[in-house]
């Protein structure tokens, strides 16, 4: 099952959702601001993406700039920060069949569906 971690207020996330809707495939939408991602799930997603946790952080968000920018954080601290502040998680994230991508640009989603 394809899963999209979606923020309806984000243009790129809405574009990613549209790609999935147009694909005709079944998928699940998780509005991660309403349904928080568990630590285990976030670690799994990061592993599927093949990136360091810091690369999943939206560094232009005000809370990152005011509270975390320039600090030396461990990977676990970064993950904890994203769990406590889900707005910091890049979006959309699409997971399918053991693969994941950040839909920036949204056309990247096509490669894994």
Q: Could you give the residue numbers annotated as active site?
A: 10
Q: Which two tokens stand for residue 54?
A: 């810091």
Q: How far apart are CA 91 and CA 89, in angstroms?
A: 6
What 3-state class would DSSP assign to 57? strand
Q: How far apart are CA 56 and CA 60, in angstroms?
A: 12
């Amino acid at each position: 099952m394809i899963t999209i971690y979606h923020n309806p207020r984000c243009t790129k996330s809405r574009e990613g959702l549209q790609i999935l809707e147009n694909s005709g495939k079944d998928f699940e939408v998780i509005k991660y601001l309403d349904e928080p991602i568990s630590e285990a799930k976030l670690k799994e997603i990061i592993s599927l993406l093949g990136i360091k946790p810091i690369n999943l952080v939206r560094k232009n968000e005000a809370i990152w700039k005011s509270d975390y920018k320039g600090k030396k954080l461990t990977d676990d601290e970064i993950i904890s920060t994203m769990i406590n502040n889900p707005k910091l998680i890049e979006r959309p994230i699409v997971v399918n069949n053991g693969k994941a991508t950040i839909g920036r640009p949204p056309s990247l989603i096509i490669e894994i569906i």
